[in-house]
Amino acid sequence: MATRPVRRLGILTGGGDCPGLNAVIRAVAKTAIYQHEIEVFGIEDGFLGLIENRIRRLHSADVSNIITLGGTILGSSNKADPARFPTGYNEAGEPVFKDVTGDCLRHIEEHKLDALCLIGGDGTMTGAQPFIDAGINCIGLPKTIDNDLEGTDITFGFSTAVQTATEAIDRVHTTAQSHHRVMIVEVMGRNAGWIALYAGAASGSDVILLPEIPYSLEAICDFARFRGKHGKRFSIVCIAEGAKPEGGRPVVSRIDPTSPDPIRLGGIGERLADDIERCTGIETRAIVLGHVIRGGTPIAFDRVLGTRFGYHAVHLLTTGATSRMVVMRNGEVTDIDIRAVANKQRLVPRDHQLIEAAKSVGTCFGE
Ligand code: F6P
């Protein structure tokens, strides 16, 4: 199957949604239809649609005027790993899982799909493995606001999330200044600090706290006091949801045992606000941006990136490549073995140039 010409292509969006998904769907579908007369089929709600056989033909009209839209016209799911699909609960209240890969393969066969374009993060790329093993040609496209996917310098969705977070932090500045407060803004990103680092740097946050650099409360409090003594009676802290104090653990907001990645982080900002207020006496507030940075229209960069990625995915399919993931490396769109990505997370290196640059303009990283 892997090497036969692709005449019918399935496409799905898996995991958490992000800005730019529709730009990718559009690029894949239009390139496939216009340039290669490939029939394109949209699989609804990620792997869930493959499991439940919810697969529909996509015509060019279906993907017109969607480049500006956030979310995904196909729907998504971050709980539907076919190799470990939750089917219910046992008497102890624990979820029961079943391998439903066989159902998916039947549905792929029924629709005569020659290949799959899987738009997602590490969960989706990991979920692709049983299909690759079964001989299905899977081409991955790297999506996530977290920017934590192995093998690519950037994922689409990240830049829009950074832009939205930056604008939100900019707005918080005024209240911080007017009320002489410490204002803490918590941003998503799981165990990676990419969003906090970039939004923190772009907004000129005084303190940036990343999961990769466990923070010292004392260092942060000293820094806020130091600023106060030098006429800056406010501080802005941009904190990643995965950040943790030295010797401590990240704050978990919920656990969903049916999800392949069951832990949801959140709440560290509020905890830090209490600690700073107690230690310094400076009035402190925390806000959580949460899903706000995952929504809305993609910025131009993500639309362009999505278009380049989508085009390259179809190029791979039509030149006989198999099991690849499209990536950006040193400004060039290229591709790597999709299997190299599974179960990995790309974290911010402690010697990242932007950390050095931010430190050089006086930003505190809680050290
Ligand atoms: O991976 C994207 C992401 O938004 C993370 O930044 C965040 O930790 C998680 O998904 C939230 O997941 P959910 O939408 O299930 O709450």
Q: Spell out the CATH class of 8-156+298-341.
A: alpha beta
Query: What would the pLDDT profile of 292-316 be if each residue is shown by its tens digit?
Result: 999 999 999 999 999 999 999 999 9
The pTM score is 0.97
Which residue has the CA at smallest separation from atom 8 of ligand 1? Answer: 190
Distance 192 CA to ligand 1 centre (A): 12
At 244-300, the pLDDT tens digits run: 999 999 999 999 998 888 999 999 999 999 999 999 999 999 999 999 999 999 999
CATH topology match: 8-156+298-341 vs 159-294 = yes
Place of tokens 């990136």: 305
Please name the residues in contact with 37: beta carbons below 8 A apart, sequence gap of 6 or more: none
Q: So where are the chain's domains?
A: 8-156+298-341, 159-294
Q: Which fold has domain 159-294?
A: Rossmann fold (3.40.50)
Write b or e for each residue in 221-252: b if 16 or more Cβ atoms lie within 10 A of its Cβ, otherwise e. bebbeebbeeeebbbbbbbbbbbbbeeeebbe
Report the mean per-residue pLDDT for the chain: 96
SS3 of 147-200: CCCCCCCCCECHHHHHHHHHHHHHHHHHHHHHHCCEEEEEECCCCCCHHHHHHH
353 to 201, 264, 362: CA distances (angstroms): 12, 29, 14
- Asked whether 53 and 104 are in contact (CB, 8 A), the reply is no
Give per-residue pLDDT as tens, 100-145: 999 999 999 999 999 999 999 999 999 999 999 999 999 999 999 9
pLDDT in tens, 27-81: 999 999 999 999 999 999 999 999 999 999 999 999 999 999 999 999 999 889 9
| Ligand 1, CB cutoff 6 Å, lining residues | 16, 78, 144-146, 188-190, 241, 264-265, 294
Q: At what angle do helices 268-280 and 217-229 cross, to 10 degrees?
A: 60
